[in-house]
Structure formats: C-alpha cells, structure tokens
Structure 1
Amino acid sequence: MMRINFWFAILLLLLSSHFASASVSLLQPKSLAYQKNIIAEAEHSGLSRVELDKSQTFDVVKDGKLQGTLIQGKGWVREVQPVCFIGWSKDGENINQFIQTIGQGDWETVGCHKVDSVGFISKKDDENEKIAVIYTIEAPDHYGTDYYVMGLKAGDGVYYDNSTTEKFQNSSLKTIAELRKAYQK
C-alpha cells in the first residue's frame, strides 16, 4: 500500500510540474480553414507562387485557450525575389495580420530560402511571450541564418520585436534552444 502511494505521489508531482510550466504552447492546427484567406492576402500584397509551410504553422494555445494561428509561408515578388511572411488568424480562418519578413524591408538584400523553426524563447516574467522564427536566407554568394522575433499580446495578436531581433543579428545561433538560452541570460 505504501509503495502505491509513493508512485502515486511521484506521478502527481510530475503531472503538476508539466502543467505549471506549459501555460503557452504551439500545436499543429486543428483546421486548415485559413489557407484560402492567407493565400489571397499574400497575393493581394504582391506575392505570387505562394506556398504555405504547414510544418511550421501552429495554433498558439495559452492556458488551454486558443490565442490564434501563427501561419508561415513564402511567395515571390516579380518572380525573382523570395519573400517569407507570417500570418495571424484569431479564429483559424480569417487573417488578422499579415507581415512580410525575410526578403523585404530590412531584409530586402537577401531572399528567404525557408523557415527552419518556430518556438518560444520567453522568460517566465516576460509581460508578453516571445516567439522566434529562424530562417535560412539566400545571399548572392551563400546561404545564412536570420531571425525574426515577435511578441504575443493576448487577444491582440503578434507584433515585431525589433530590439530583440537585433540582438541576434550576426550571431551563429542555429536553434530555438540556443536563442532561448541567449535571450534568457
């Protein structure tokens, strides 16, 4: 009897530790209803040959409640410049935000080859959770790595975190775990 209570106590401890640390998570979307709308938004923004990266698209769930769907994709400007983008859908269908990332703006001198990974890098006491995206970029003579960091505002979607993104520029970090460790220092 005592042995069963011991194992039951260990099991309860493990389960409660898991739930306490898992208040925000990225899960594969339950629905693909967003697809038609995000492609239309990308095309409206001047991109052609739009491709969605379903393996790096996630539902963001906080304390068991869906915050929105973070959508990753890529398209082409004038058939020559590959541009990656991020979409945000609060309801998993309509597009509330559309952000072009690698391949335009501050990154217009490089092309977006692909999204390598997406993940949380937040500290426990961050007011808004931080989500990082790691990209493989195409420069004229080589491939490299670049980053895009967003903050998550409950109910409002995502925003570009310029200062955190700039901290990682010209670094050799290759994984979300490495970014998280560097960010949490």
Structure 2
Amino acid sequence: MPLDKQSFSINSDGKKLGVFISGHGQSEQGAGICFAAWRAQQGRLTTVIPTIGKENWQGQTCKRTLAVGVLSEENPAEIKIGVIYEVIASGANAFASAIFSVDKAKRTLSLDRDLTSGIGSQHIANLAGLKQWYQGHKPPEATARFNVVQQVQKAVEEQKLVKDPACVEYQQAKDGEPGLTLVDVMEKHGGHCPGDIQIKHRLFSIYVDNVTHQMLTDKDDPEEGTFSLLPDIK
C-alpha cells in the first residue's frame, strides 16, 4: 500500500521527473515490509525496491515509515532521497535508514547501496540527523564527476544538435584521451521515442577539455570520427 503523505513528485529545472512512492506491506508470514517505488512521468509504476524485511534488512520487521525527504539537490545529475524507518529487530524497536538516487537524465530510481550500507547501525531517528550524516559522508567528487555530462547535455540542447532531447541519453566513457573526457550521445527508445527498446546506437561523441571545458564533437562526421570545435555554451 502506498503511503500518500510520504509520496511526492520529484521536479528538476521546472520538469517533473516522476513520483517517489513510499509504501508498506506484509510478507507471506505476515511480517511488516517497507518499500520504495517510482512512477514514471507517463504514470506507469516502473520500479519497486523492497527495503525493511528484505535483503540486508531480512531480520527486521517494518513497523512504519517515519520520515521521507530530499537530502541533496546540488548534484547536477542526481537527487538523493532519504527514508527513515521504525523497525523491530531482536524484539526491540530501532531505527533504520535507506538512501535512494533519482537519475535526472534517465528519470529512474535506484537504491544507493554504498551510502545505505555506510549508515549501518547509526539509528538516526529524524530527517535532520540523516541530512547531517549525508553531508559528512557523500562522495566529495560526486558533483565534479557528473558535471561534465551535465555540461554536454546543456550544449546539445542549447545548440539543437538533436531533434528530440528527450530521446537521447549520455554515457561518460571510462577511457578517453589524456586531459579530455569523452561523452557519447546515444539514442534512447521507448515511450514516445521510436525504435527498438533493446537497441541503442551512438549518434555522436563529444570530447570535453578538463581544464578549459572547450568541446570537440564528431556530430558532422560520426562514421569517420572527424572532430570539430563546438561554440562555447552560455
């Protein structure tokens, strides 16, 4: 069952990404289970992530979802959502937390397993405490790591390099030239985007200079990979 007062829309830059749903249910044995779910922009439930009572929380029973809230929005690519549960463990009441990530570009929800496992047995009882913990433990390189992809997306959209910005996605390549970061602009299929959902083609690529932030792209000649300079974005 969804919990109405603890489910809400997630928006970024004036666009609705989807709806974060906090919910409560029961296992086959009648024990309380909590979960998080994601409803995409089209209104279809796309993701259900069991938490208390399942996986790492197998030995706990979910009594109730105590608090849900956004922990951080400064990351250009992700929004972090924290959830605090009141649980029953070893016959006693306790608190447990989970942290989820909303990918702004893909509009998807996932459990941040590293941060969630890092909370461990902190027994944080309120959202303010969870925000404070997150600020002290978030990866310091997170913003920088995703900033390149955000800047490439901004350049593509501002300079109208693709017909429909909603039907492309961006993949940062692991291996690039020294001093440069490579981002591939890929087709995205499904929903209103035509094409086989199982197939994704590279449309073109963009190199970003790690110091000057200037961009080179092979958009005019992706077959041969001939790169030319992109005008600076605003």
Q: Quick check: 115-124 or 65-74, which moved more?
A: 115-124
Partner of 1:89: 39
> Residue 133 of structure 1 aligns with which residue?
83
Work out which structure has the larger RCO, using CA pairs closer than 8 Å and 6 or more positions apart in sequence. 1
Please identify which structure carries the higher helix content. 1
User: In the TM superposition, what whole-angstrom CA distance separates every residue of 1:90-113 from its partner, at most 9, and x where no partner exists?
Assistant: 126310111111111111101111
Aligned to 1:137, what secondary structure does the other structure show? strand
Q: 1:169 deviation in Å?
A: 1.5
The 3-state SS of whatever aligns with 2:43 is coil
2:126 to 175, 178, 183: 175
Q: How far, CA to CA, are the matches of 1:160 and 1:65 in structure 2?
A: 22
1:144 paired to 2:103:
no
Q: Distance in 1 between matches of 2:88 and 2:120?
A: 15
Partner of 1:160: 111
Q: 1:107 matched to which residue of 2?
A: 57
**TM-score under structure 1 length normalisation:** 0.67
Could you report, residue by residue, the CA deviation over 1:40-87 in whole angstroms, capped at 9, with x for unpaired residues? Answer: xxxxxxxxxxx3211101111112211100111111112422111111
Is the aligned partner of 1:184 residue 2:146? no
Give the counterpart letter for 1:158 in structure 2.
Answer: L
Q: Which runs of 5+ in 2 are unaligned?
A: 137-234
Larger radius of gyration: 2
Between stretches 100-109 and 168-177, larger displacement belongs to: 168-177
Task: Tell me, yes or no, if the aligned pair for 1:123 and 1:184 is still in contact at 8 Å.
Answer: no
- The residue type equivalent to 1:64 in the other structure is G
Q: Is the 8 A contact 1:60 1:66 kept in 2?
A: yes
Which 4+ stretches in 1 moved above 6 angstroms? Answer: none
Matched residue, 2:219 = none
Deviations 1:24-55 (A, max 9, x none): xxxxxxxxxxxxxxxxxxxxxxxxxxx32111
Q: Is the 8 A contact 2:84 2:124 kept in 1?
A: no
SS of the equivalent of 2:45 reads coil
The 10-residue stretch of structure 1 (153-162 or 124-133) with the greater mean CA deviation from structure 2:
124-133
Q: Distance in 2 between matches of 1:91 and 1:79?
A: 34
Instruction: Output the CA distance in 1 between the equivalents of 2:16 and 2:93.
Output: 35
The secondary structure found in structure 1 opposite 2:72 is coil
Between the aligned partners of 1:71 and 1:173, the Cα distance in structure 2 is 21
Question: Structure 2: how far apart are the matches of 1:81 and 1:92?
Answer: 33
1:133-170 CA-to-partner distances (Å, cap 9, x unmatched) read 10011124111100111111013311111111122121
